[in-house]
Amino acid sequence: MSFFQKLNFSRKSKAAIEGGKGFALRSKLLLMLLAAVMSAILVMAVLDYRHGKDALVKTVSDKLTALRVAKTNQVEWYFKNLRSTVSVIGDTPSVGNALRDMSEAFKVQLGETELSQKRLDALDDYYQKTYLPKLEQVNDSGNLIVELFWPLSKAGRAAQALYIAENEHKIGEKDNLFKSPDNGIYDEIHAKYHGYFRDVIRYQGFYDIFLIDGESGNIVYSVYKEADFGTNLLKGPYAHTGLGRLFQGLKADHQKGKVLMVDFQRYAPSYNVPSAFVGAPIYSDKGKFIGVMAVQFSLNRLNKFMKSGKSWYGEGLGKTGELYLVGDDKLMRTNSRFLEEDKKSYMASLKAANIPASMIDQIDKLNTSVLLHHVDTDAVLKAFEGQSNVEFMRDYRGKKIISSYAPMDIPDLRWAVLAEISEKEAMQPQQEYGRKLMITSAIILLLLTLASILLSTLFLKPINALVSGIRRVNEGEQNVRVKRQSNDEIGELTEMFNTMTTQIDQRDGVISEQTEAYERLLYKLYPVPIAERMKMGESKIVMSSHQISVMFILIHNFSKLTESWDAKDSLELLNEIVDSFDDIAETMGVEKVKTIGEHYLAACGLSVPSLDHARRGLDFTHALGKELALINARHDIDLALRVGMHSGPIKAGLIGSRTFTYDIWGMSLNIARRIVYEAKPNMIRVSTQTYHMLNAAGDFGEEIMVKTTALGNIATYEQKLDLSVDDNRMAGNQKKKPNKEKKQGGLLARQTTSKAAE
């Protein structure tokens, strides 16, 4: 039965509508309604579309800028830390002693060594059969000749013969030789210091370390013994490289405390691996300049910073977004995302963008865009002019993009950082929204046209009353009622409207109460980010974090203490402890995962990433120790904490399809859970990963090795919990005792009984 049939117009009403005047009035009303509706829909659609576009552009711009700023801070911190590290190492007395001793021994032993023809032939074979063929594979200048790379000095040739040509270890492992078979004075000194420098580069992640004689310019020591070892940086084959310029700069200006850095270039001794150098002057114990310590480092860490483990989707960069660095020579300092993801499409886009064929061939041959791809976009030009902004423009492939660009603040380097995403991908939600808006507008227009035809046939007065009531309900007004003005179908419709609004008011009230109760329960059961996602309707929630700290905490002696208590008193004490721990976790930015009896599991850096998650986790456990000390004093009991802590990757999410449980899992949890049982009461046991992240060796004891079957041997360190309590808090804690003593048969009475039994 149709809506018109339900209305069941009387014959008189139909006749009036079908009459000339009725038809004319209906037509006028219909035309006015349609004109108004169409105009309103059009204006609202246009304004809504524009506002949506502006909002989307702002959102994308803010996201790109946030990513750019975060990466900028990370890279700038890395270089600042690198310079500080080199300065500190270079200022170490043992480094000065090493340079002094090696320089002298280099002259005495190696400088006076006459190489036999056999050794000269072995050195020539190294260059002819190993070094030059491998270098030619990554070099674009054709065949190379030995004379261009041959060490000029007798000492340099002797050093390379002993530690490179006659070194039985393969390329990349030459550092395994501590002492040449000649057993000369240089060999003795080399064996004395080599282990220290090798440990430094492994711990710091350097590529190589060089000691350079300040007077002669000879490289008297290198950890990895590549083709630059033993050469002269004033007139030798590598004097014009980045390492040569670094040494010459520090030799000319070697004021104490100075640190100099040279930008990345392809470095022949390392087979054209893009390398940068940072160095510091070295002084004798009498304050005399004796040379330079230089550190060679590669782009590996920078690429890791910028790519975040290639988790572009996880960082919100979608299919086409990328973050990269460009030097003042307009060459890339980090690899292109598109080369790593889809080399074929990337090479095709370079050809389409009219990139020189020679550059494309080199990128294809070396499988990298670093120091090869010339980026001369407007974003790069503006960044090197000191500007920082977000704009629509074209990228180095000629694609339309949104680019957030800015210069970087790194001493001795002039770089720009860019965060970009394709305009098409960025604006895709707006295009989809526009399509849906058009469809929705068409549907609404059609429905309103039909409604207008119907409304134009009804008596205006009761309809206006109903429309007014509907409008009030639509605007959110409650308790809306329309006075019934007739006993016909319109009157019945009015009554139905009144009944409907009453039901809506009642239902809205019930829904509102249930919604509030549900939200309160969510926030009590789950962390805020998880609760927010569950409110949006998600049920399969999983997260993965590459670096967090997990704290597995055991309330020691709780079960023994409460064994003779009734369940209510035990629960009351446990709730007091857990609630206070939860308050501290919320205050310190630590996420509580769950409790299992007297076990308390927490994590830092999980839902909200944190660079100092290890330090926060350590401070959190100390705060728990202080809180438990207050609780012990308040109830005259003796509980302790045992803490296991590990830093590493973790996974988290909702487990179960019927009953949800928020939990974490992974090796990091297993390690923390395993080592907590090795911790002594009121002690924190941390893994070696956490120990190095805390960078506070003086605060911990000696290394303790934990032997396990499933996890292998785990190196751990212990630190005593800080149980000191602020005097003001202790005074406030004391004031609560009289109230506890008044509680008959409760917690205090149970404690007294337990102590008497003991």
Question: CA–CA separation, 540 vs 365, rounded Å?
Answer: 44
Helices (H), 223-321: 242-252, 300-307
Q: Give me the pLDDT at residue 425, please.
A: 83
Mean pLDDT, the chain, rounded, equals 83
Q: Give me the pLDDT at residue 321, please.
A: 86
The more confidently predicted of residues 158 and 743 is: 158
Question: What is the mean pLDDT of the segment spanning 552-577?
Answer: 92
In the structure, what pLDDT confidence band is assigned to residue 732 with cuts at 50, 70 and 90?
Answer: low
Q: Give me the pLDDT at residue 577, please.
A: 94
Looking at the DSSP bridge assignments, the partners of residue 552 are 601, 644
Residue 238 CB coordination number (10 Å)? 19
Q: Give me the pLDDT at residue 281, please.
A: 96
In the predicted model, is pLDDT for residue 252 greater than 60? yes
Q: Give me the pLDDT at residue 18, please.
A: 43
In the structure, what pLDDT confidence band is assigned to residue 758 with cuts at 50, 70 and 90?
Answer: very low
In the structure, what pLDDT confidence band is assigned to residue 448 with cuts at 50, 70 and 90?
Answer: confident
In the structure, what pLDDT confidence band is assigned to residue 49 with cuts at 50, 70 and 90?
Answer: low
In the predicted model, is pLDDT for residue 215 greater than 90? yes
At 84-115, the pLDDT tens digits run 999 999 999 999 999 999 999 998 888 777 88
Query: Could you tell me which CATH class the domain 303-428 is placed in?
Result: alpha beta
In the predicted model, is pLDDT for residue 24 greater than 60? no
Kindly report the CA angle at 311 between 310 and 313, in degrees rounded to 5? Answer: 130
In the structure, what pLDDT confidence band is assigned to residue 26 with cuts at 50, 70 and 90?
Answer: low
Q: Give me the pLDDT at residue 31, please.
A: 75
Q: Give me the pLDDT at residue 735, please.
A: 41
Task: Give rounded-to-5 percent helix, strand, coil for the chain.
Answer: 55, 20, 30
Half-sphere exposure of 250 (CA within 13 A, CB side): 35
In the predicted model, is pLDDT for residue 21 greater than 50? no
Q: Give me the pLDDT at residue 506, please.
A: 73
Question: CA–CA separation, 66 vs 390, rounded Å?
Answer: 11
| 236 three-state secondary structure | coil
DSSP conformation class of 546:
E
Question: What is the mean pLDDT of the segment spanning 305-316?
Answer: 71
Residue limits of CATH 3.30.70.1230 in the chain: 528-757
Please answer whether residues 26 and 17 qualify as being in contact, where contact means their C-beta atoms are separated by less than 8 angstroms. Answer: yes
In the structure, what pLDDT confidence band is assigned to residue 750 with cuts at 50, 70 and 90?
Answer: very low
Confidence (pTM): 0.54
Residue limits of CATH 3.30.450.20 in the chain: 303-428
- The sign of the CA dihedral 75, 81, 84, 90 is negative
In the predicted model, is pLDDT for residue 15 greater than 70? no
In the structure, what pLDDT confidence band is assigned to residue 745 with cuts at 50, 70 and 90?
Answer: very low
The answer to which of 28-37, 38-47, 326-335, 536-545 has the lowest mean pLDDT is 28-37
In the predicted model, is pLDDT for residue 296 greater than 90? yes
CATH number of 528-757: 3.30.70.1230
| 293 three-state secondary structure | strand
Which residue do the tokens 């579309």 mark?
49
Residue 523 CB coordination number (10 Å)? 15
In the predicted model, is pLDDT for residue 624 greater than 70? yes
Question: What is the mean pLDDT of the segment spanning 350-364?
Answer: 84
CA 380 vs CA 12, 331, 403, 414: distances in Å: 79, 10, 10, 12
Q: Give me the pLDDT at residue 521, please.
A: 65
User: 496: buried, middle or exposed (CB in 10 Å: 19+, 13-18, 0-12)?
Assistant: exposed
Q: Which residues contact 77 (CB under 8 A, 6 or more apart)?
A: none
- The sign of the CA dihedral 63, 65, 68, 70 is negative
For the ranges 251-260, 308-317, 508-517, 688-697, the maximum mean pLDDT occurs at 251-260
In the structure, what pLDDT confidence band is assigned to residue 340 with cuts at 50, 70 and 90?
Answer: confident
